[in-house]
Amino acid sequence: MKVLFALLLIAAAGIAQADDTAVRQNLAKKFDVAVADVRPSPLAGVYELRAGTQIVYASADGKYLLQGDLIDIDGQRNLTESERRRARLDLLAGVDGDQMISFPASNEKHVITVFTDIDCAYCRKLHSEMAELNARGISVHYLFYPRAGVGSSSWKKAQEVWCARDRRQAITLAKQGLPVNSPNCGSDPVLEDYKLGQLVGVSGTPTIITDTGQLIGGYLPVARLSQVLNQDKAGQ
């Protein structure tokens, strides 16, 4: 009897797995996302669909779509934001370190990735505080996000910075409004960075992604930024 019961459990698990796979495939096809980006949500009969950092929920039959954040009341956690953070980190994990312009802190406590625009006033202000950021243990990795778009003046400045022999010096000069005048190097990551920014959810600059996946939209004074980073990491 015990053997028969065990076999029934195994068979039921196999059927459930097959059904889940079919549901995920159908939802992926219907909503034009990858099967890997469809997964069961904590709500019975409801699936989570991810596109970049955009997350929605759908009924198993695909008839109903829910937009909004899913909150774990007992745990007091925003489950949707947790998934967004994971999605941001997954996207950034695919970026080669050589694609970034980095200012590492010697006593590193936090790492932030900043989508920046050479001509953005608050991007320049943040960069002018680099020494203080590093002194507080905050390492900074830059990716380009020229808000004016492809072919704009800011876009061309980003390309010039990338093609410079010393990119860290070049981005510092550019953010001071000084010319870089580097030759065209034939290949730059500006378009790649820009597309990544759109996937991550950048809507303005600077946009800061913390090492826990939190998105901070806009400039914060160094002391306040350090406080936010400390509090965020302590809460993880």
The single-letter DSSP state of residue 104 is -
Structure tokens at 98: 């050589």
Q: CA angle, corner 75, sides to 72 and 77, nearest 5?
A: 55
Residue 120 appears among annotated catalytic residues: yes
Distance between alpha carbon 209 and the CA centroid of its chain, in Å? 6
The encoded tokens of residue 109 equal 């406590």
**Contacts for 16 with CB less than 8 Å, ≥ 6 apart:** none
Decide if 185 is catalytic.
no
84 has catalytic annotation: no
Give me 123's structure tokens: 């991007």
**Phi, psi for residue 122 in degrees, rounded to 5:** -75, -25
What DSSP state is assigned to residue 75? Answer: T
Output b/e per residue, 163-179; b: 16+ Cβ within 10 A: bbeebeebbbbbbeeee
3-state percent helix, strand, coil for the chain, nearest multiple of 5: 45, 20, 35
Q: Which two tokens stand for residue 104?
A: 């590492």
- Catalytic option among 120, 124, 136, 211: 120
The residue annotated as part of the active site, out of 123, 124, 188, 193, is 123
| Active-site residue, 211 included | no
Domains of the chain by start residue, with CATH: 2-68 (3.10.450), 98-234 (3.40.30.10)
Per-residue pLDDT for the chain (236 aa), expressed as one digit of tens each?
Answer: 544 444 333 333 444 445 788 889 989 898 888 888 899 999 899 999 998 899 999 999 999 999 999 999 988 899 999 999 999 999 999 999 999 999 999 999 999 999 999 999 999 999 999 999 999 999 999 999 999 999 999 999 999 999 999 999 999 999 999 999 888 888 899 999 999 999 999 999 999 999 999 999 999 999 999 999 999 887 76
